[in-house]
Structure 1
């Protein structure tokens, strides 16, 4: 990534600035004094700009003083006239400061080789605008001193400075950022040396002996721009400029016959034009190389992420065949990578699960869903079944055509097996309950004798027939439960409460069980207690199951609290029973506040038109099946504002299938919907002015033609072309032109009616559809628009910029309603208006 270099040691930079400028200036001045020399080549300013632009501002003054001192010495060395020599300092100083400032402020030097547009900006700021400004001041000084005319001095100065800047500045700036070693370390070093020799030999040969020499000068440069780096091409351009410029400057180029003055004035222009395309092409090739490198890096990251993923991943073709798989999927299914890519996902899917998977694939191909998740069984290489959680998404090209699927498969076989075991455990508990493994006991309070049935003996692990007392029962109590159990039994014996107890026992065989006990007191006629009769049954498995269910419920609660979607459950009447935290945030209701309220009171859902829509919970409860929130629905929040939602309601059923209620899952799609709205706007509007773009305008014109044919009405098409807009871009730059276009767009939009449609077709061309508008009124509006445009003045960097406009009108009626023909008519009328003197309109009558 290019960056401004840290400022180096000041003294070496100062010496390089002084001696570099001095040597280049001496060479240029000496060359201009040779017999037959046409004009000078001025590379010194470009070298100074390259050394100056990224230096701290506090160093600019001494560096510029060193450069201008070298300039003065170079001129005095060949001409002792101090006044004449000092006259060249102000224009050179202006050119250097302007170029270095523009490059520093705009940052164009940092990104000159990133794209053709960036390089063009670099050339404009560094090699075009500064020489033009310096030439104006320099030519004025030469004319004032009587040394030459302003026109000839200006042209000499511009050609020499621009050729020097174009030739030296790109290479010098690049070397300031990267250094000589990176240039010499280029991977095509031998090829670079070959091109260096070719340019050094070929340029003089082409200019001295070949016809159309500049074609042969530019040919190796264009080829090198494709083959070499931007820096290599810049080096070749500098060498071609130096060798070619010397030949031209010494008058050895056999140029076509023309007036001697023009020959001298335009002598370097062909060489300059043969060098620029190579640099422009090199910047474009550099941009392509960078994008290709980024694409390769992106593909490498994706491939590494896939290969090192802990879950199975595969790229699947549209025919179902596996195109690429990772190690995790191979380990899960027991195949090697080479074996898997010969199979399709149909071959690996359990037959009972294949139909549902294929149906989801058809839905995603049809565009009815973007992705899907599915628990299904896979077939291991050994033949056994493996449960996997499959997540599938479809990759499409830029035109929306499907390319391939990305599948992620998580191994959930252990979890599914555990779920099956838990289900079996629950089934066994149900069977045990039905079998009524209950023990019945009786305690004679007078004799302290316990009577147990066989069920009780089995529960406690004792031999049937043993005579027992209360003390024997107490020995089976778990030490941690003994005190509590005795206290509750004795309280029941006193008649103060019924016995309903759960406690742990230690069986005779050493096992531990959890029992549940119920009992009631039997009294005589006087109310005196006689005995206590009760039951015990084993709830050990029920306790374990309850603990697991409690843990599962806790995990479910944590999951509902953590997921990014809102979850709401209701009863059969559509009354809210639960909201997770996301649902609370979306609805503005706390879960405890919303319990028992109708779903419509908690969720105020409305459509695009602002009217309330049916809650999918009602559809789900009425139909007994899943229901979705239709259309682009939004939720009105109690605190104000709306939230774009996507909702899916599904029925909740008990084990027997009876409907218990409904669960509604809400997803906040506000950001996605806002992005879609933004993309729709960007696709139909001009990014600079905010007006309709060409494509949207052409659709509007087609619709206007259809409306005219249906209603037999009349409309007018107006084509507007700005006059002298190119001069604004050329004189003030594209930034000024863009600002002027924005102001003109707002100006014209304010003049037209609300039903009219104004568009920017591109460049400085606008078009306007005046719906149901008679021609005289359209002519008045066109004249007013032209007058308003001519009256708009933009002040930009001290300049007052104005443009004019010409307009062409044509009527849209039932006999003239072909969009393409209408555009041609309006364009023809505008062309007539321009050639009739501009600043007016013309009408094409059909």
Structure 2
């Protein structure tokens, strides 16, 4: 797609169009006046269309006017009367305008050389349909003036315009979009010059000397279309058209009687058909080259991505052979690239994983799946086994036939080994826990002897004894820092002051330190006298370590929640608050302790922009069990007064088994961003000096007023206000004084208009006012009052007093006059009349 072209200098464009159209028209008219001339070769319209179609619409009138002036002058130059010369202007104007409009609206000019179909669309809209319409009008004028029959005039007009358009317009449009430098910068410039010389030689020779000349004429063009670019082919077609057209038009090819119009058509038609296939072929070849370049670029990108990827990648044939491998895969498997290319994936796959991998490959080839992922083992060149995560997809051609596989192999050997080690450790821990179990002990208070089972001996790392030991022996295992506390709690249990529930550290017989959890109950006789303590011990060292890690993680999480800039609130399943971090406390005005247990709606009172209450996303989150966001623009009503703009999202909290536990709501304060958006919206629609609407916003308001008038069949008035003698204030007192005067006048006018009226500063000392649903008589009274008050306003500046006046132009907005651009023009015209009538007045443009 060619890049959009910026509009050039308008004056130079006008001069270029005038000079080019005049020269091309003079040549065509001169040619038509020669003896034995068959028809006019009309290139001027095609050149104009190529120059006009992408120009801004506001320039079209001037460009078309200049082209038609050149058309008129060309006919007058050869002695035609003014009426006769002017009669050729309307059909040419219709033909040029229609072709440019069709090319612009359809976009066919921009897509011209993308494909043969796009080029045919371009020819239809630019070179076929407009000449048929223009020729109909032109032939009618010629027949009306008695200069020629309708059939002959229509035939000659069509063939001249169509040949000119097909020959010139593709090249001119291409140059318009890309420029001469890009054509001159093509790599095959010498070849283009050779083909140009061949075309200039073959065209007259084949037309004048050879039978079936158009076959020979089209041959170098078709060869050039394959060898050169579309633009170069268009240059050669233009050369062939000019050369061959001149020979045919001058009657050098074959002398026909003037009334043999259909034979003339059969003369020009082969020339046209000899040129058009070359352009179609050039368009197809250009698209093929583009696709080939894109394919090459895509293959290059894929090759670079594959070569530099940190993950092993390979292209694998349908029989499993490695076609291409990257460096990462070679390093992973320990082979060189040439070595891997001589192997298949079956050769480096662990035998136990080969059947499952091959079954998935067969499913892809059978069309039952598009891709698959698989963790499998590979055989390293050294013989060791390594784990890889394999992802495979199949590449098919445009007909759906399989071509090759793309494989991505990620080295996950470390992770799998770690998982195996973790599994083994877990198995060992389970076995150890099951084997050691819980140690059971009994302390006979009368004999001061302890009875331990085998589990107790394993817990304390002692060799199996008789099953009895003294209290002192047990006490010797206690960690010195825990001994006093443990003994105190044991004695309290022995004295019947409560059940024993204790955790303490011990030193095993092998020197290892463990954490033991102990429970015990006092057994008494019938009289209530203590007899013995019976209890259990078990090793909770791992649980203690886990608890400490969990405590550390909790502390880190708490610090994180306290430090982040967003508010975080957690709730239970009923939507009651359980926690607020400091930011959430600041936003809501509640402390975490005060809010705990309260419904989320009581802590967070959310409102929309219209003060309606907004549903809290926590409710949707708990009801649906999925994340929910705060909808629209919401604000939080702070208990201390005022609102805070928020953005929030709630997510469910789940336990390890997936059970829903509650929700987490994250809130972000976006007050500053929303205030900035409001400020930017205001700045985009208001004048910075006066605070009134600016011109774009006023034009939108005028468009809306016109729409309202059309819908309601009402009446409004547009006023264009231009200050009188304002330049003198700037020249005398400076722009600061002028700015102050503009602000005072803006405030004065704003105080006079109604609430629904639209007042704007269009720029400089020009203002505009829309009086909505206002009769013209009332608008005239308001205009007179504004003029009088502006004249009465005095600006006192640095010891001087300044006065200005105002002229007002008005246009009525009603259902028959509701075009914004036309209304502005009418109001401006009325203001111009008011100024030229003596200033300080108003005038009305009645439409």
Question: Which bin holds the TM-score, normalised by the shorter protein?
Answer: 0.5 to 0.7
Query: How far 1:330 sits from its partner (Å)?
Result: 1.4
Structure 2 SS opposite 1:14: helix
Query: How far 1:375 sits from its partner (Å)?
Result: 2.2
Quote the Cα distance in structure 1 between the aligned partners of 2:17 and 2:281.
31
Quote the Cα distance in structure 1 between the aligned partners of 2:162 and 2:428.
95
- Name the counterpart of 1:645: none
Sort the Cα spacing of 1:152 and 1:492 in 2 relative to 1 into closer, same or farther, 3 A.
farther
1:448/1:470 contact within 8 Å kept:
no
- Name the counterpart of 2:57: 57
Structure 2 SS opposite 1:168: helix
Query: How far 1:264 sits from its partner (Å)?
Result: 4.0
Q: Output one character per residue of 1:617-661: Cα deviation in whole Å (capped at 9) or x when no partner.
A: xxxxxxxxxxxxxxxxxxxxxxxxxxxxxxxxxxxxxxxxxxxx9
2:155/2:261 contact within 8 Å kept:
no
Q: 2:326 matched to 1:322?
A: no
Query: How far 1:492 sits from its partner (Å)?
Result: 4.5
Structure 1 SS opposite 2:538: strand
Query: How far 1:390 sits from its partner (Å)?
Result: 2.1
Sort the Cα spacing of 1:9 and 1:259 in 2 relative to 1 into closer, same or farther, 3 A.
closer
1:451/1:468 contact within 8 Å kept:
no
- Name the counterpart of 1:540: 541
- Name the counterpart of 1:342: 342
Query: How far 1:502 sits from its partner (Å)?
Result: 4.9
- Name the counterpart of 2:46: 46
- Name the counterpart of 2:472: 468
Structure 2 SS opposite 1:468: helix
2:478/2:504 contact within 8 Å kept:
no
Flag structure 2 segments of 5+ consecutive residues without an equivalent: 553-619, 627-656, 658-847
Sort the Cα spacing of 1:319 and 1:256 in 2 relative to 1 into closer, same or farther, 3 A.
farther
1:218/1:274 contact within 8 Å kept:
yes
- Name the counterpart of 1:526: 527
1:364/1:394 contact within 8 Å kept:
yes
Query: How far 1:590 sits from its partner (Å)?
Result: 5.8
1:521/1:529 contact within 8 Å kept:
yes
After TM superposition, the structure 1 = structure 2 runs for residues 173-212 of structure 1, keeping only pairs within 5 Å, are: 173-212=173-212
- Name the counterpart of 2:74: 74
1:477/1:505 contact within 8 Å kept:
no
Bigger-Rg structure (1/2): 2
- Name the counterpart of 1:24: 24
After TM superposition, the structure 1 = structure 2 runs for residues 574-653 of structure 1, keeping only pairs within 5 Å, are: none
Structure 2 SS opposite 1:195: helix
Q: Output one character per residue of 1:349-378: Cα deviation in whole Å (capped at 9) or x when no partner.
A: 112222332333333333444433332211
Quote the Cα distance in structure 1 between the aligned partners of 2:551 and 2:347.
40
Query: How far 1:432 sits from its partner (Å)?
Result: 2.8
Q: Output one character per residue of 1:52-76: Cα deviation in whole Å (capped at 9) or x when no partner.
A: 1101110001111111111111111
Quote the Cα distance in structure 1 between the aligned partners of 2:196 and 2:353.
68
Quote the Cα distance in structure 1 between the aligned partners of 2:454 and 2:239.
112
1:224/1:233 contact within 8 Å kept:
yes
Q: Output one character per residue of 1:719-767: Cα deviation in whole Å (capped at 9) or x when no partner.
A: xxxxxxxxxxxxxxxxxxxxxxxxxxxxxxxxxxxxxxxxxxxxxxxxx
Quote the Cα distance in structure 1 between the aligned partners of 2:487 and 2:25.
114
Quote the Cα distance in structure 1 between the aligned partners of 2:393 and 2:290.
29
1:313/1:406 contact within 8 Å kept:
yes
Q: 2:160 matched to 1:167?
A: no
Q: Output one character per residue of 1:514-542: Cα deviation in whole Å (capped at 9) or x when no partner.
A: 32323332334422334434343334357
Structure 2 SS opposite 1:110: coil
2:307/2:326 contact within 8 Å kept:
yes
Sort the Cα spacing of 1:534 and 1:152 in 2 relative to 1 into closer, same or farther, 3 A.
same
Sort the Cα spacing of 1:4 and 1:353 in 2 relative to 1 into closer, same or farther, 3 A.
closer
TM-score, normalised relative to structure 2: 0.60
Task: Provide the alpha-carbon RMSD of the alignment.
Answer: 3.6
The range that moved more, 22-31 or 490-499, is: 490-499
Query: How far 1:156 sits from its partner (Å)?
Result: 1.1
After TM superposition, the structure 1 = structure 2 runs for residues 77-156 of structure 1, keeping only pairs within 5 Å, are: 77-156=77-156
The range that moved more, 266-275 or 167-176, is: 266-275
Sort the Cα spacing of 1:501 and 1:308 in 2 relative to 1 into closer, same or farther, 3 A.
farther
2:479/2:505 contact within 8 Å kept:
no
Query: How far 1:420 sits from its partner (Å)?
Result: 1.8
- Name the counterpart of 1:568: none
Sort the Cα spacing of 1:503 and 1:330 in 2 relative to 1 into closer, same or farther, 3 A.
farther
Structure 2 SS opposite 1:390: strand
- Name the counterpart of 2:843: none
1:476/1:507 contact within 8 Å kept:
no
Quote the Cα distance in structure 2 between the aligned partners of 1:212 and 1:258.
23
The range that moved more, 1-10 or 469-478, is: 469-478
1:306/1:313 contact within 8 Å kept:
yes
Structure 1 SS opposite 2:128: helix
Query: How far 1:451 sits from its partner (Å)?
Result: 8.2
Sort the Cα spacing of 1:398 and 1:69 in 2 relative to 1 into closer, same or farther, 3 A.
closer
Query: How far 1:84 sits from its partner (Å)?
Result: 1.2
Structure 1 SS opposite 2:383: coil
Sort the Cα spacing of 1:109 and 1:518 in 2 relative to 1 into closer, same or farther, 3 A.
same
- Name the counterpart of 1:677: none
Sort the Cα spacing of 1:495 and 1:473 in 2 relative to 1 into closer, same or farther, 3 A.
farther
Structure 2 SS opposite 1:377: strand
Structure 1 SS opposite 2:343: coil
Q: 2:416 matched to 1:416?
A: yes
Task: Count matched residues.
Answer: 554
Query: How far 1:417 sits from its partner (Å)?
Result: 1.2
Structure 2 SS opposite 1:315: strand
Sort the Cα spacing of 1:323 and 1:514 in 2 relative to 1 into closer, same or farther, 3 A.
farther
The range that moved more, 513-522 or 42-51, is: 513-522
Structure 1 SS opposite 2:319: coil
Quote the Cα distance in structure 2 between the aligned partners of 1:397 and 1:330.
28
- Name the counterpart of 1:232: 232
Quote the Cα distance in structure 1 between the aligned partners of 2:481 and 2:456.
14
- Name the counterpart of 1:425: 425
Structure 2 SS opposite 1:206: helix
Sort the Cα spacing of 1:501 and 1:207 in 2 relative to 1 into closer, same or farther, 3 A.
farther
- Name the counterpart of 2:281: 281
- Name the counterpart of 2:390: 390
1:37/1:250 contact within 8 Å kept:
yes
Quote the Cα distance in structure 2 between the aligned partners of 1:89 and 1:213.
36
- Name the counterpart of 2:580: none
TM-score, normalised relative to structure 1: 0.60
Query: How far 1:332 sits from its partner (Å)?
Result: 1.2
Structure 1 SS opposite 2:204: helix
Query: How far 1:500 sits from its partner (Å)?
Result: 5.1
- Name the counterpart of 1:776: none
Query: How far 1:18 sits from its partner (Å)?
Result: 0.7
Sort the Cα spacing of 1:425 and 1:373 in 2 relative to 1 into closer, same or farther, 3 A.
same
Quote the Cα distance in structure 1 between the aligned partners of 2:488 and 2:381.
63
1:429/1:541 contact within 8 Å kept:
no
- Name the counterpart of 2:332: 332
Sort the Cα spacing of 1:95 and 1:589 in 2 relative to 1 into closer, same or farther, 3 A.
closer
Sort the Cα spacing of 1:402 and 1:62 in 2 relative to 1 into closer, same or farther, 3 A.
closer
Sort the Cα spacing of 1:590 and 1:64 in 2 relative to 1 into closer, same or farther, 3 A.
closer
The range that moved more, 430-439 or 389-398, is: 430-439
After TM superposition, the structure 1 = structure 2 runs for residues 762-801 of structure 1, keeping only pairs within 5 Å, are: none
Sort the Cα spacing of 1:40 and 1:367 in 2 relative to 1 into closer, same or farther, 3 A.
closer
2:222/2:281 contact within 8 Å kept:
yes
Structure 2 SS opposite 1:521: strand
Query: How far 1:50 sits from its partner (Å)?
Result: 0.6
Q: Output one character per residue of 1:93-133: Cα deviation in whole Å (capped at 9) or x when no partner.
A: 01000000100111100101111111111111100111111
Structure 1 SS opposite 2:318: coil
